[in-house]
Amino acid sequence: MKKGILRLISLVLLLTMLSLLAGCAKSNTETAAPAATPEPTPEEITLKLGIWPEDTLADDIKMHENWVKTFNSKYPNVKVVPAYYKYATDTFVSLAESGNLPTVFETWYTEPQKLIEGGFVKDITAELKELGWDNAMNPTIRELLSKDGKIYGIPRDGYALGLMLNVELFEKAGLVDANGIPQYPKTWEELAQCAKTIKDKTGSAGICILAKDNAGGWHYSSIAWAFGAQMEALKDGKWVAQLNSPENVAAMSFVKDLKWKYDVLTADPTNEDWGTGFKALGTGEAAMYIGANDAVNQPTQVNKLDVKKLALVPLPAGPGGQYSLMGGTPYMFSAKATAEEVKAALNYIEVMGKAPVTTPESLAGMEDDAKNKVTAGIPVIPDFPAWTDPEFIKAKQEAISKNSNIDMALYNDYYEKLKQNGNLHLEEPKLTQDMYAELTKVLQAVITDKNANVQKLLDTANANLQSLLDSQVNK
């Protein structure tokens, strides 16, 4: 009797498991099928939009729904599927490998080369050539999105780092002129003094410096360049790390002074990353923060700073000059997308007013975008020129000035500076993220240890970076 029960149980278990396995197998083929056999009949193309806004942004969704209507009236054969995807390194590869990546998605400025290397994104050179967009792109940004002459993405917009100010804190500290425009620091030395004044008069931190992750090293490069540092150099065909140059030591010592001599930083820079920095700025915890024109929604829309109380000014100058780090936020395309799907995606981007054309749909897209920013309390400011088409730039400028919701006096100096020759600076070229990681470790050390030996720390960082360069670049 007992045996019988045992046998029965084992049989049931076995059957359950077989059906489980069968279930797995079945669902596997189901999900894999569309990726494996993409049969895009001309009448039916599915466009999975990873650039769809997230559920909470109702206004943005409404804007996109209108765009879809416009888009479908022109391209009725394309079925637009919202597939909101916020790029994240821990979800990306599994999505890509399982063939579930949206046709088009937005990623970070750091990622293109890595994604191209891994074969996750599609070469769209042919499609861009067909539309004539390949030469309308800002050449430096095109460089960021290309490998071996092939283009893998297009810019949503470009950015250049500047210094963001919380105007409320500047007013409280009495650092504004008769017109209420902040008297911002023109050099890093002035910045230290200015930050001190703000800290003394308002109790808020003068500036927010990042030291949690690689963004720390990224922001720091701007300071280092102003002090005259060049952190990587090509010598006799080999890449050489120069993190321990006297200029870089001076720049790092300056950051150390911000903490220990002036004491103007937020409570724990080793816990500040890109997002918390904007929070500190937006909520009045810090008066200054290194930020770019494409992130003005962060302090305002996201962290509720009054749209008129944000200013963006040039980064301070140092003994080595004045530079603005530039980059771009890219749109990239799933490696598994067909040429038709990519074209549909590009057409949709055109309707959004983000493509270098001035069709009526594109113009309406720009207008909608600007209006939406006004309702959401985001400063409507000029774009950084990611596309070079003059008519496109003019049309964009018109849409922006018509919907202006801020005093351009708070931004003019920044845009003027960018136009100067030699002001824009690209990131250091090789193993950039590893270099940032090394710099961030040094930042953490000098910010947490009053007696840190800057030269010694940078010597170690330099040796580390050099060994990485030797093993991965100078082969």
* 375 belongs to the binding site for another protein (CB under 8 A): no
Nearer Cβ to another protein (7/238): 7
* Least Å from the CB of residue 97 to another protein: 5
271 residue type, one letter: N
* Least Å from the CB of residue 34 to another protein: 20
Subset of 97-116 contacting another protein (CB under 8 A): 97, 114
* 22 belongs to the binding site for another protein (CB under 8 A): no
* 371 belongs to the binding site for another protein (CB under 8 A): no
**By the 8 A CB rule, do 349 and 154 touch?**
yes
* 467 belongs to the binding site for another protein (CB under 8 A): yes
* 118 belongs to the binding site for another protein (CB under 8 A): yes
Nearer Cβ to another protein (388/464): 464
Tell me how far apart the alpha carbons of residues 62 and 230 are, in angstroms, rounded to a whole number: 47
Q: Which DSSP string corresponds to 42-94?
A: TT-EEEEETTSPPTT-HHHHHHHHHHHHHHHHH-TTEEEEE------HHHHHH
Nearer Cβ to another protein (212/425): 212
Please count the residues of this chain forming the interface with another protein, following the rule CB under 8 A.
48
**Binding track over 259-298 against another protein, x by CB under 8 A:** -------xxx-xx---------------------------
The encoded tokens of residue 3 equal: 């045996």
* 7 belongs to the binding site for another protein (CB under 8 A): yes
> Taking Cα atoms as reference points, which of 295, 293, 288 lies closest to residue 274?
295
3-state per-residue secondary structure call for 381-438? CCCECCECCHHHHHHHHHHHHHCCCCCHHHCHHHHHHHHCCCCEECCCCCCHHHHHHH
- Helical H segments across 205-273, by residue range: 214-226, 246-260
Tell me how far apart the alpha carbons of residues 286 and 204 are, in angstroms, rounded to a whole number: 6
Nearer Cβ to another protein (226/437): 437
DSSP state of 317: B
Tell me how far apart the alpha carbons of residues 273 and 279 are, in angstroms, rounded to a whole number: 10
Decide: residue 231, CB within 10 A, 0-12 exposed, 13-18 middle, 19+ buried: buried
* Least Å from the CB of residue 108 to another protein: 12
Nearer Cβ to another protein (104/442): 442
Nearer Cβ to another protein (193/444): 444
* 242 belongs to the binding site for another protein (CB under 8 A): no
- Give contact residues for another protein (rule: CB under 8 A): 3, 6-7, 9-11, 13-14, 16-17, 21, 89-90, 92-93, 96-97, 114, 117-120, 211-213, 266-268, 270-271, 433, 437-438, 440-442, 444-445, 447-449, 457, 463-464, 467-468, 471-472
